[in-house]
């Protein structure tokens, strides 16, 4: 089978390849650093690249530390629905919020920061967790004329999943590159994410399908 060939209408979206999500980070995704060299190679296949960056203020409402008596990975009811509580991570201007040092960003045309509103989390690259407040990414991509988006990054079962679902919701074709993502897999969340992305009409591929 011939490799899938990205066109000028395609954009690669690299999701949250930041130090706090890498092994040793505050919210480490198992094997997360293995995505970085593959993300660099993927960029050579695309004319257009966008990267997202988690960017929380201190004391963000999604942090367990902001809820006395609660522990990381518990769930609370936020005004916008259930919210998983996380360890403090990707706090603005801290080392953990920085991109992995080996990640090539010279070809990124946009770096979109998300999660900066203190009272609401933002998994998706397109919407805050209320699923109503836009980040502006859809408008940017639409105005640029992109039709198909390819996703890689961290974590499969949270920020990648929600971004893929919202890409479909916004009318884009969505492709997620499974071996260029890694999951937290919290209580079966990886299987749930895989099924949800399929149900949304997203396509799952491997990097080999792009000739890598």
Give the active site residues: 16, 114, 159
Nearest to 88 by CA among 33, 18, 27: 27
* Chain center to CA of 65: 23
> Please, are residues 91 and 58 in contact by the beta-carbon 8 Å criterion?
yes
In the sheet that 108-114 helps form, which strands lie side by side, from edge to edge? 108-114, 49-54, 10-15, 148-154, 173-182, 203-205
In 3-state terms, what secondary structure has residue 210?
helix
């Amino acid at each position: 089978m011939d490799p899938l060939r990205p066109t000028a209408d395609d954009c690669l979206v690299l999701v949250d390849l930041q130090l706090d999500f890498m092994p040793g980070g505050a919210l480490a995704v198992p094997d997360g650093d293995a995505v970085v060299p593959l993300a660099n190679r993927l960029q050579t296949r695309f004319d257009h690249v966008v990267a997202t960056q988690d960017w929380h203020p201190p004391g963000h409402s999604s942090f367990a530390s902001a809820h006395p008596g609660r522990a990381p990975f518990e769930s609370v009811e936020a005004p916008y629905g259930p919210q998983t509580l996380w360890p403090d991570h990707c706090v603005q201007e801290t080392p953990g919020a920085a991109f992995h040092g080996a990640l090539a960003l010279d070809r990124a045309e946009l770096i979109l920061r998300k999660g900066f509103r203190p009272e609401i989390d933002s998994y998706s690259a397109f919407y805050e967790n209320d699923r109503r407040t836009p980040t502006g990414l859809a408008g940017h991509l639409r105005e640029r004329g992109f039709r198909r988006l390819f996703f890689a990054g961290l974590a499969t079962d949270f920020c990648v999943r929600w971004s893929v679902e919202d890409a479909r919701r916004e009318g884009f074709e969505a492709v997620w590159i499974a071996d260029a993502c890694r999951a937290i897999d919290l209580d079966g969340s990886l299987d749930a994410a895989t099924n949800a992305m399929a149900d949304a009409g997203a396509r799952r591929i491997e990097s080999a399908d792009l000739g890598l």
